[in-house]
Structure 1
Amino acid sequence: MTGRTRSAAAGAAAAGVWALQEPLDQRVFRCDYSDVAILGKALTGGQRWRPAGLVLHVANGVAFGLFYHEVRARWPTAPRRLALGLALGEHVALYPLTHLVDRLHPRRGTRGIPPLLRNRRAFAQATWRHALFGVVLGRLA
């Protein structure tokens, strides 16, 4: 397996771990926030939102794994530290875009899509999820 393929597969696996543990962190953080729901319910309002969201989430993981591979080739940092740093950096950089989810998502307010921008529990949840993703990516890539 090439380094690029391994990183893509690691990103997919890390996204899968994230998605599988979402029900647990929803209970721990007492917040009904789901990235899989945000993605899937953006595509469909029917029963198929979960598989659609999972496919999109894993595809995003693959893309992030490929991004990680390219940065890793150019940046002299410990690979696991780099994966965690990139994942947390993405979280901090992109979380303000939840404002768009709060205002424009076609199914905002439904299960899995609470108001996010000023939701401290959701922010903490997203921090945990990105850290988990980074650790798994760094371990597998």
Structure 2
Amino acid sequence: MSPWIQAGLAGAVAATAWGLVEPLDQKWFRFPYSDIAILGKFATRGEHWRAAGWAMHIVNGAVAGLVFWALFEWIGTNAFWFAVAFAMVEHLVTYPLTVLTDRFHPARGAPELPAMSRSGRAFAQATFRHLLFGVVLGVLVSI
């Protein structure tokens, strides 16, 4: 299999793992935010927001897998640890954008979309989710 296809599929699988763990980590971190809801309720406020959110989340994961692979080919190193570092750097770079979500998301205030920018629980939860993504991505591109 082409390493590009493998990286894209690995990213999609890692995003799926992230989405499947959301209900559990919402209990662990005692914080209800959902990335599936952020995406789905941005696309539609209708009854199909969850399906839209899942589709967008999986596509985002595949794109992230491809970006990871492009950087990995350019920089090189251990694929597993690079995937973990890639996910954590992406988290640290994008987390400040939660200020925009808190202020402008069309569904802000919904149960799955509490204010996140000033929440330590939300930051810890997002850190956990990105770490999970990086580990799954790293394992799957290292096979």
Amino acid across the alignment from 2:34: S
Identity, % of aligned positions: 49
Amino acid across the alignment from 1:136: V
Which moves more between the two structures, 65-74 or 121-130?
65-74
Task: Give 1:76 deviation, angstroms.
Answer: 2.7
Equivalent runs, 1:1-141 vs 2, <5 Å:
1-141=1-141
Q: Deviations over 1:64-113 (max 9, x none)?
A: 00011111111132111100001000000010000000000011010210
What TM-score does the superposition give when structure 1 sets the normalisation length? 0.98
Q: Deviations over 1:21-66 (max 9, x none)?
A: 1000000000001000000000111111101000000010000000
Amino acid across the alignment from 1:31: F
> What 5-or-longer segments of structure 2 have no aligned partner?
none
RMSD: 0.6
CA distance in 2, matches of 1:25, 1:100: 23
CA distance in 2, matches of 1:76, 1:20: 30
Greater than 6 Å deviation, 4+ residue runs:
none
> What 5-or-longer segments of structure 1 have no aligned partner?
none
What TM-score does the superposition give when structure 2 sets the normalisation length? 0.97
Question: How many residue pairs are counted as aligned between the two chains?
Answer: 141
**Other structure's SS at 2:50 match:** helix
Amino acid across the alignment from 1:50: R
